[in-house]
Structure 1
Amino acid sequence: MMKGIFEHKWSVIGIAVFCSILWGSAFPVLKVSYIEMQMAPDDIIAKIVLAGIRFFIAGLLVLAFLLITRPKRILVKRKQFFVLIILGLVQTALQYFFFYNGLAKVSGMQGAILSSAGTFFTVIMVHFYYKNDRLNWQKIIGLLAGFTGIVAANWGEALQFSFHWDGEGYMILSGVTNAIATILAKELATGIHPFAVTGWQLTLGSSIMLVFGLPQMAAGAITFTSFGWGLLLYSALLSACAFGLWYSLLKFNPAGELSMYKFIVPVSGTVLSAMFIPEEHLNVFILVAISMVAVGIIVVNYKGKKNEKSMTTPRAS
């Protein structure tokens, strides 16, 4: 039954769009969380701890759901557990170290656009990893459109370009680690139930963050209010839901087809940021940026079935 749901054309589209909107909502939610919890923009450790709490809760939620519905699937072999540690380190700990600290230095709208770099870096990386998935003119045009949009997101109304490694740079690095994790998950997590992959990698990755961050966090670095807890729990739920559903889609569908729907993430993230963050407003540069990024993502993934067929054979080293 599960396989049927995740293979039916319209249910796949609906789930992919839903996941993308959920991921897009993370940008304004996190920006508002920083304000509500009175977190200093330069406090790296506090953000590591906040991310660790969020993804630890998310991981436990996924594992609890799997334990209730498919208890035998929660068990993994020793070799598979090592793979899940690697995924947790890259997909959760490393990616969200860059994401949480980078987003503190940029607007929610910028963050939504810059993080889409992961889609474009995935296209570049598979060119070197998969034997029959090389760059062509279609993909090059899509990449140029996407990276043009990313550059446009860093221009302000005063026509001044802004780029800082601990802000915009971290957001792009978050996309790079996401691209790496996408390939790792596709190649290494075979034979593991998608919800087990999600739950374990979130739990293990977040544990690394908490073990590292908690002993170093200054007292009062995070002020937990009722609203703050609500935002944190929503963030955990969206992660558990979106990651679980997305890994399930990846199990039964070509990654190339699914990647096309990720154009919704920067669009929804930008629009929701403009709606819920008082000081953020859409301008011509942001509109150009999300348009170029959306076009780029669609173009590089056009005819995903053909592209995905080539993603089954690793390129010889």
Structure 2
Amino acid sequence: MNSIFQKKWVVVFIAIFCSILWGSAFPVLKVSYEELQMAPDDDIAKIVFAGMRFLLAGLILLVGLFITNRKWLVVTRRQLMFLTLLGLLQTALQYYFFYNGLGKVSGMQGAILVSSGTFFTVLLAHFFYSNDRMNWKKTIGLIAGFAGVVVANWGQEFQLSFQLTGEGYMILSALTGAVATILAKELAVGIHPFAITGWQLTIGASALLIIGVPQLSENAMTFTPLGWGLFIYSIFLSAAAFGLWYSLLKFNKAGEISMFKFITPVSGAILSAMFIPGEQLDLFIIGALMLVAIGIIAVNYKGRRVIQKGQ
């Protein structure tokens, strides 16, 4: 596994794949809320929906590991404490902030604030790891990636305002995700990446359901065949994206692979244009893709001299 997840083309492919999967969550969630007839201001229904989704995703991974190799499921008491902390941060707290904040900001604000998680991760990695410092390549990458997110959402309603339960929650969601990324990189020694994903999703989702279910209104969600299909896809999305991402994180620099997350809001805009009526693909999206690509290339580019010296 070590050699596979350290090969450059594998890292690039999986990182892009995970980012596109997370990007697809934007149109999937938008259509799901409408299809399940959730009230726009029903935050509890959204939390319960997220809890159901993440719980089943986590259980699928844990059952899969139980069938293939039960040894990977065994964790020490110290590791269980870490997994509990990660689950509460990465799943419960991050998505509590995300789902509640997203309903109170514009599309452009949401995309920009979500992308701030990449900045937080790269900056935190600079202080935590001596081999993952900020440099001119990462600086160019961050500027180009952030510019791509802004361009992708150009023309949407944008207001210079701040409220704790809106913009504040989105920033807290991004910061919580960045801290969880560093914790996973730092403390997940000796734990299989899919076990990390399975346990943290299950624990975090359980917390969301404990909070949400007692407050859930009757008939808050009405499942239809399409609604079930979207729900099943969202489960697969969570299990696959988080499992593969933790595998990359285990064997690569957190600051470098996190740059690929700039693809998430851009791919979300593209997929929304494809599947949501009224949203269209335009030159801004194409320009955004080019900027994000420049940012990723800048971070991962190694000159000939560096390669030869490494050999």
TM-score, normalised to structure 1's length? 0.82
Aligned to 1:6, the other structure's residue is in SS state helix
Deviations 1:251-286 (A, max 9, x none): 233334433433332232111011111132345666
Match of 1:118 in 2: 117
Match of 2:228 in 1: 229
CA distance 1:167–1:273, shift in 2 (3 Å): farther
Match of 1:206 in 2: 205
Aligned to 2:6, the other structure's residue is in SS state coil
Q: Which amino acid aligns with 1:40?
A: A
Aligned to 1:115, the other structure's residue is in SS state helix
For these two proteins, the number of residue pairs brought into alignment is 302
Alpha carbons 1:46, 1:221 under 8 Å: kept:
yes
Match of 1:19 in 2: 18
Q: How far did 1:239 drift?
A: 0.7
Q: Which amino acid aligns with 2:36?
A: M
Match of 2:187 in 1: 188
Aligned to 2:38, the other structure's residue is in SS state coil
Match of 2:273 in 1: 274
TM-score, normalised to structure 2's length? 0.84
Alpha carbons 2:152, 2:285 under 8 Å: kept:
yes
Uncovered stretches (5+) of structure 1, i.e. residues with no partner: 304-317
Q: Distance in 2 between matches of 1:10 and 1:293?
A: 18
Amino-acid identity (%): 67
Moved more, 120-129 or 163-172: 163-172
Q: How far did 1:35 drift?
A: 0.8
- Mapping of residues 1-317 of structure 1, within 5 Å: 2-105=1-104, 111-112=110-111, 114-131=113-130, 133-149=132-148, 156=155, 161=159, 163=161, 165=163, 166-282=165-281, 292=291, 295-296=294-295, 298-299=297-298
Moved more, 35-44 or 139-148: 139-148
CA distance 1:107–1:225, shift in 2 (3 Å): farther
- Give the RMSD, CA atoms, in angstroms: 2.9
Alpha carbons 1:110, 1:153 under 8 Å: kept:
no
Q: Distance in 1 between matches of 2:168 and 2:279?
A: 20
Deviations 1:116-154 (A, max 9, x none): 221111112223333564444444444444445555666
